[in-house]
Amino acid sequence: MGSSFRNPSFGSSSGVLPIGVKWLLISNTAFFLLQFVLYQAAGVTLNFLKLIPIQTVSGYIWQPLTYMFLHDVHSTMHILWNMISLFFTGPMLEVHWGTTRFLKYYFLCGIGAGICVVLASFIAGTPGVATIGCSGALFGVLVAYGLLFPDVLFFGVIKAKWFVIIIGAVNLLDGIASRNAGVSHVAHLGGMAIGFLIIRFGLLGNSRGSKDPLTWLEAQYKNWKLARARKKFEVYMRNQSRH
């Protein structure tokens, strides 16, 4: 699936899709095709994988992850637009962060957006409404793009930072004005908020080698073990000197 990016405003500088984005494109498309076949052949809807808040809090704890790989089987536009968004905004972030950090950020935004939907659904009284799609994760990616590459042009006419602000404002106003519960807007805004917080507080580190939280915790644990071993050795030596 390697492809050249003709628009210098988007994608990786090498012009080849990095492995993380490529894997996400393939896996989302594969899940959609599986959904489509199961639904058309047997009417199977895979509800247990969708994000249905009343089910999530009842023990279906995998739903804030699995809902990200499901899309609307009644139209190809849902999966198409999400994959186009990932194709154009994901590569530069993955090149900047590296595959591990990029995927970690993507899934944190998606899962965080799902948790926001669960909380909002109980407040709005719609815990039985299902949410599907990776839009929450992609809105997080969009925020990262706007923060890290604010002056890159979207569509050759608007800077990324202004595009992100406009998209966020539209989703907020649309969610408020909607007569529906607007859980999809909650997912979008939730993904944006989670993404902003992750970057704002440097929870992923950066491309210059800063340690992410897990690496930092691992280093602290190793330091603690070394200090503990040193202390035991000192006690042992003191005891030996007494004999």
pLDDT of residue 11: 52
CATH number of the domain that 192 lies in?
1.20.1540.10
Across 205-225, average pLDDT: 56
* Tokens standing for residue 176: 């408020």
Across 198-226, average pLDDT: 65
Residues 144 and 229 in one domain: no
The answer to whether residue 9 is domain-embedded is no
Residues 127 and 224 in one domain: no
CB burial string 48-77: b at 16+ within 10 A, e below:
ebbbbbebbeeebeebbebbbbbbebeeee
Residues 112 and 218 in one domain: no
Return mean pLDDT, the chain.
Answer: 84
Residues 92 and 168 in one domain: yes
Residues 108 and 151 in one domain: yes
The answer to whether residue 155 is domain-embedded is yes
pLDDT of residue 221: 62
Residues 73 and 189 in one domain: yes
pLDDT in tens, 161-198: 999 999 888 877 776 666 444 447 899 999 999 999 99
Residues 79 and 180 in one domain: yes
Residues 82 and 56 in one domain: yes
pLDDT of residue 175: 67
The answer to whether residue 68 is domain-embedded is yes
Residues 79 and 41 in one domain: yes
pLDDT of residue 8: 38
Range of the domain at 234: 212-243
Residues 195 and 238 in one domain: no
Higher pLDDT, 49 or 220: 49
Is the pLDDT assigned to residue 213 strictly greater than 60? no
The answer to whether residue 7 is domain-embedded is no
pLDDT in tens, 75-99: 899 999 999 999 999 999 999 999 9
By the 10 Å C-beta count (0-12 exposed, 13-18 middle, 19+ buried), 105 is classed as buried
* Residue 230 main-chain phi, psi, to 5 deg: -65, -40
Q: Are 130 and 52 in contact, with CB atoms under 8 Å apart?
A: yes
The answer to whether residue 109 is domain-embedded is yes
The answer to whether residue 1 is domain-embedded is no
pLDDT of residue 225: 72
Across 145-149, average pLDDT: 93
The answer to whether residue 133 is domain-embedded is yes
Is the pLDDT assigned to residue 6 strictly greater than 50? no
* Residue 131 main-chain phi, psi, to 5 deg: -125, 135
The answer to whether residue 189 is domain-embedded is yes
| Percent of the chain at pLDDT exceeding 90 | 62
Q: What is the DSSP letter of 133?
A: S
Domain count along the chain: 2
Residues 189 and 216 in one domain: no
Q: What is the DSSP letter of 67?
A: G
Across 50-75, average pLDDT: 96
Residues 153 and 137 in one domain: yes
